[in-house]
Chains A and B, each alone.
Chain A
Amino acid sequence: MVSAENLHKRYEDVLALRGISFEMKKGEVFGLLGPNGAGKTTTIEILVGLRQPDEGSVRVCGLDPARESNELKERIGAALQATVLPDKMTVEEALRLFASFYKHRVPTESLLETFGLMEKRHAHFDKLSGGQKQRLALALALVNDPELVLLDEPTVGLDAMLRRDIYALIERFKSEGRTVLLTTHYIEEAERLCDHVAIIDHGRVVAIGTPRELVDRSGRGTRLEVRLAKPVPAEKLKSLDAVIDSRESDGIYVLHAQPATQAIVGLIHFLEAENNALLDLHIAQPSLEDVFVEMTGRKLSE
């Protein structure tokens, strides 16, 4: 469905993409995961034909986005960051107007229903809340019943509840058999929604696979989150048996261990010897965040 090969893009002094390559299959949800400035938006803009790469090639739905732009736009739907419409345009007018540009159209009533905008159909764009604007942006991406939906940070700036609403809509796209490409810097989003994830940093793909594969491949073991009665240097915890890595953040020590049981026993012995106490222990499988940290040496939020 999408094939990107060795994409390079430079903006004056900034090298935004340094050889991005990935493949997307029909019917899957594919995530581009990375921090701000990693090159996600530039990649998606190249895929929809808004920008041309300086180097590399791209095919979307079997078409060249730069040369077959109009044919491609008939087959894809996109919601880029912060969709802006004229202030006085109503929700219904926007859906009808944008649908009118396409050969194949989804009935406006159906979109209003699906995206929970029926009550706001006569509301002006400037009167919509952030969540309603985002739902409208997603609805606009679907006015032509596209095969491929490209979403650039669809939940950025929304609170947790609104994010879950959007997740439900994206899951619905998937259940309808659409192919979805989304960019995000939320781990939770990628883990929950994506069949495949490409982790991007500094314009490069640093890892690609299913979320499970990435976590398994990381070799960082089980994640232990520990709260102690007295602070200790994180380096001391890292020296314990079976502990691969140790970090401290806001009084919580995050250890990666393999095997986990051996590390827990070692930790308890250490605390007894140090006359310290274990206040809290949380055991979890490693996340994409851990994978990202392993691959890049920093957290997604940094």
Chain B
Amino acid sequence: MMNVIRLSIMTIRLVMRTKVALFFTFLFPCIFLFVYGGIFGHGDPNAMAYMFGQVLTLNILGAGFFGLGLQAVMQRERGSLRRYRLAPVGSLTIVASNLLANYLIQIPVVGLLLVCAMGIFHMPFKLSFIPMIFVLLTIGIFAFAGYGLTIASVSNTMQEVQVYNNLAWFALVFLSGITIPLPALPHWIQTVATFLPATYLVTMFQAVMAQSEPVSAHLPELVTLVVSGFAGLFIAWKLFRWEKEERISTANKAWAFALLIPIFLMGLWMNVYANPSASWNKSYSRMIKQMSSVVSAANGTAGTTLEDFEGAAASQDISKTWQVPMEDVRPLAEITIIAPGANGSQHALRVSGRVPMPSQNQLPVQASDNFVIPTTVKTFSGIEFWIRSDDSREYRFTLLDENTKQGTAPEITLRPSSKWASIRIPAPTQAQGNASPPQPSHLKLFIAPLGQAGDFSVDIDEIKTY
């Protein structure tokens, strides 16, 4: 064990002295962080929380394939392993020390990324995340070290290992949700993703960072990665070669496929018994929703997307159909996302602003939102949602068909209380009671504060059809 530690410390020292290694170890992940946070996430803190897992996974993959794996072949090709072979140092010591060094190097890298994400992008972060990130980081590095070392052990030359590494790298990076979030990919790719180990790591990071889920909720994925790590290290140890002249036989190369067994079984289980897409959508939608609130609050006007309200009934959930919500919010109104929402949901929509003059029927301030009734809705009478307000003001709600501009739209006027209560807004007469709603049915909800000039604020949540 002492030999493992000594070799690891030496490896870390050598990395610290090599400019190229320093660049790829420390600076490169930061560049990715800025690309993800700054370009993909538009500098949004909540987007950064979601994408932080993608950056970490990308880094772990790079360390496993191009750090550890490539380094193993390079040492062999260069002949520097030979000197260790003359000493009482076994192949397991070499493999384990490389793994430990790789792990120890990643800890300050993750620390650096955290500092950048929190300091520059103001990423929300709880102390309770630390042990969970630590667990995911440890298991992730362990698993992908296994993959990287296995590829290295079945490759005879640098050229060969680079081909295999690039194949694995690109497949994982583009199909596992590391570059493009899985919910944004076609369903068949999502199915393929369930058979890729990086998918589990990136989605677990996202669940922890964006949804505050405990890692224990992902035990099967964790176990799969741990098993893959052990299998990979075992294969790497058994196929370890000290000399570049020692070539691996085709039969021994087949050992690499053994590494795919745990992930294949996990993929099958996921597709048959679990619903990974729903879980992936959850954290993705939350990120999008949270991003919207910030955009809206910053602008003080419209232009936000309100997707996936908490608790919306699955069969009648219309939240995903909202088009350009609150497009007509007047300059004196704004919308934000608040927490908690109704009935224990984590977030709700707050429409707030100022009524500039005594309002009778003129509706000087009015918020509205377009949405489409999904085809899954068989009958449609209107929409319902939960509402509350502290300002003792009356509000008028109207639902209009934006396609036809026809039909009588019942106006609902009410004074919400400070407690959450459910209300229903009937659809215009043509749409109401149809066996199937008009397709596409672009309806617009208007919310108008009534009464005296002054501030207003109303919270709504769990929007669905009835």
Contact = CB atoms under 8 A, between A and B. Distances in A.
B6 interface: yes
B258 interface: no
A93 B18 CA distance: 16
A120 B182 CA distance: 55
A78 interface: yes
B18 A84 contact: no
Interface residues of B, number: 20
A110 interface: no
B270 to A, nearest CB: 42
Given A86-B14, A88-B18, A98 B87 contact: yes
A75 B107 CA distance: 39
Contacts of B86: 48, 50, 73, 78, 80
Interface in B78-92: 78-80, 82-83, 85-89
B436 interface: no
B315 interface: no
Contact of B10 (A74, A78, A89): A89
B83 A140 contact: yes
A82 B87 contact: no
Contact of B88 (A70, A80, A93): A70
Contacts of B80: 84-86
Contacts of A80: 82, 86
Contacts of B7: 97
Nearest to B85: A50
A101 B87 contact: yes
B83 A88 contact: no
B405 interface: no
A157 B2 CA distance: 36
B388 to A, nearest CB: 65
Contact of A85 (B2, B83, B85): B83
A83 interface: yes
Interface in B1-20: 2-3, 6-7, 10, 13-14, 17-18
Contacts of B6: 97, 100-101
A186 interface: no
Interface residues of A, number: 24
Most A-side CB within 10 Å, residue of B7, B13, B87, B242: B87
B11 to A, nearest CB: 8
Interface in A48-91: 48, 50, 69-70, 73-74, 78, 80, 82-89
A102 interface: yes
Most B-side CB within 10 Å, residue of A73, A86, A140: A86
B17 A88 contact: yes
B83 A73 contact: no
Contacts of B83: 83-85, 98, 140
Contacts of A140: 83
Contacts of A101: 3, 6, 87-89
Contacts of B13: 88, 93
B79 A74 contact: no
A51 to B, nearest CB: 9
A157 B68 CA distance: 33
B344 to A, nearest CB: 57
Nearest to A89: B14
A85 B13 CA distance: 14
Given A82-B79, A85-B80, A93 B10 contact: yes
Nearest to B2: A100
Contacts of B87: 73, 98, 101-102
Contacts of B85: 50
A175 to B, nearest CB: 24
A12 to B, nearest CB: 10
B319 to A, nearest CB: 57
Contacts of A83: 82-83
A84 B2 CA distance: 23
Contact of B78 (A84, A88, A93, A124): A84
Contacts of B79: 82, 84
Given A82-B79, A83-B83, A100-B6, A88 B14 contact: yes
Contacts of A48: 86
A93 B7 CA distance: 11
Interface string B55-84: 000000000000000000000001110110
A97 B10 contact: yes
Nearest to B87: A101
A74 to B, nearest CB: 6
Contacts of B2: 100
A7 to B, nearest CB: 19
Nearest to A97: B10
Contacts of A69: 88
B88 A102 contact: yes
Interface string B307-325: 0000000000000000000
A248 to B, nearest CB: 40
Contacts of A70: 88
A256 B105 CA distance: 68
B82 A84 contact: yes
A23 to B, nearest CB: 23
A73 B83 CA distance: 12
Contacts of B14: 86, 88-89
A75 to B, nearest CB: 10
Nearest to B3: A101
A74 B88 contact: yes
Nearest to B89: A101
A89 B18 CA distance: 11
A70 B242 CA distance: 16
A100 B93 CA distance: 14
A180 to B, nearest CB: 16
Most B-side CB within 10 Å, residue of A70, A83, A88, A102: A88
Nearest to B80: A84
Interface of B: 2-3, 6-7, 10, 13-14, 17-18, 78-80, 82-83, 85-89, 242
Given A84-B78, A89-B10, 17 more contacts: A48-B86, A50-B242, A78-B86, A80-B82, A82-B79, A84-B82, A86-B14, A87-B18, A88-B18, A89-B14, A97-B10, A98-B83, A100-B6, A101-B6, A101-B87, A101-B88, A102-B87
18 contacts: A50-B242, A70-B88, A80-B86, A82-B79, A83-B82, A84-B79, A84-B80, A84-B82, A84-B83, A88-B13, A89-B10, A93-B13, A100-B6, A101-B3, A101-B6, A101-B87, A124-B17, A140-B83
10 closest A-B pairs by CB: A88-B17, A84-B79, A73-B88, A101-B87, A70-B88, A84-B80, A78-B86, A88-B14, A86-B14, A100-B6
